[in-house]
Chains A and B, each alone.
Chain A
């Protein structure tokens, strides 16, 4: 996968380092040369000096073939600009923007860009949004049950989320949407951008993956 990281601060450099170590092709953009010092010596990706909303610079950084873009500079406005250009001009599949102001984050989320507020999201979580993998961060002591955060698969848009539940196996603990979350699925109908917080029994994980990928059973 080719990923563009805009902003080589603490978060940006962390994501770049991690994705590169996993074997992905990474291009990092920052307006200051000294920011790249945060990258490891053996960093195999490319670095580009300039603004993340510079069309030409983004092209040089491989935006035309990029699979994901993370806009993680220290400025909300720079991030939303880079994110929209990535998504709308270069049609990059997965775009994540870090927005400090929660009110602005909710507004920009309506542009179809996954926005993350720094306080609650770790570098790891941002990374997984870029690669599309679910984050499984909590497992109970015995290792029987875990909590999984999953971005709603497209096939579940328009479907009732309570259909994901399976008594004793899968519980929809909470659903995050537009900067707010509710406990349980209730009568919620899935929408693009929803993040599902599911509690899953390990032995039901494979089945859940299947249902997430194929939509609710039709019987």
Chain B
């Protein structure tokens, strides 16, 4: 996979190295020449480019037209939005992921700006914090394209779903149980998977079925 990342800050560089290590062709675009020089000598499997990712000509020169994913990971929301728009509109990049620095701007990061997935660290942190402390209530992990959402629910001891199989449970149509985590093992759920107290149920939901799901799993 060919990936282009804009912004060689801590986040951008980390993602670049991670993806490069996984074998993808990674291009890292960074405005500051000094950062690029340092970066080039520190990593050898990432392609560094000292360019402004907000400029059409720069993106063109780097070959964004052939890239599969663009990650707008700069520390500036305005730049991330413009980069996303250029990537989607001018270069038809199939997948555009953008970092949201200030949660107040989260509302902007949608398809109007070419953003497929908006990643807001504070939002993710909130979800993780909630996840860490809650048993018996639904935690939203991630909002995906098209209104789908990944949620997590840890079954309490007195959950009505404990001891019942998934087939038995009548999971609503717009929800799909995608994994059950039990004692650090991930169980791929099937109809005959029997739930137990303490299980972390991960589900993909669309529409307004969270309440129905909670009624099934909570006491």
Contacts and interface: CB of A to CB of B under 8 A. Distances in A.
Interface of A: 53-55, 75-78, 80-81, 84-85, 88, 101, 103-104, 107
Contacts, number: 35
10 contacts: A53-B78, A75-B78, A77-B54, A77-B76, A77-B78, A77-B79, A77-B81, A81-B78, A85-B108, A104-B55
B104 A103 contact: no
B64 to A, nearest CB: 14
A107 B79 contact: no
B89 interface: yes
B90 interface: yes
Nearest to A56: B104
Contacts of A85: 108
Nearest to A81: B78
Q: Which 4 A-B pairs have the closest CB atoms?
A: A77-B78, A77-B82, A103-B56, A81-B78
B151 interface: no
**Interface size of B as a range:** 10 to 19
Given A77-B54, A88-B112, A107 B86 contact: yes
A56 B117 CA distance: 24
Contacts of A53: 78, 105, 108
Contact of B55 (A55, A80, A84, A101): A101
B57 to A, nearest CB: 6
A81 B107 contact: no
Given A54-B104, A77-B54, A107 B90 contact: yes
A88 B56 CA distance: 23
B118 to A, nearest CB: 15
A78 B78 contact: yes
Interface string B105-117: 1011000100000
Interface in B124-166: none
A113 to B, nearest CB: 12
Nearest to A101: B55
Contacts of A107: 56, 86, 89-90
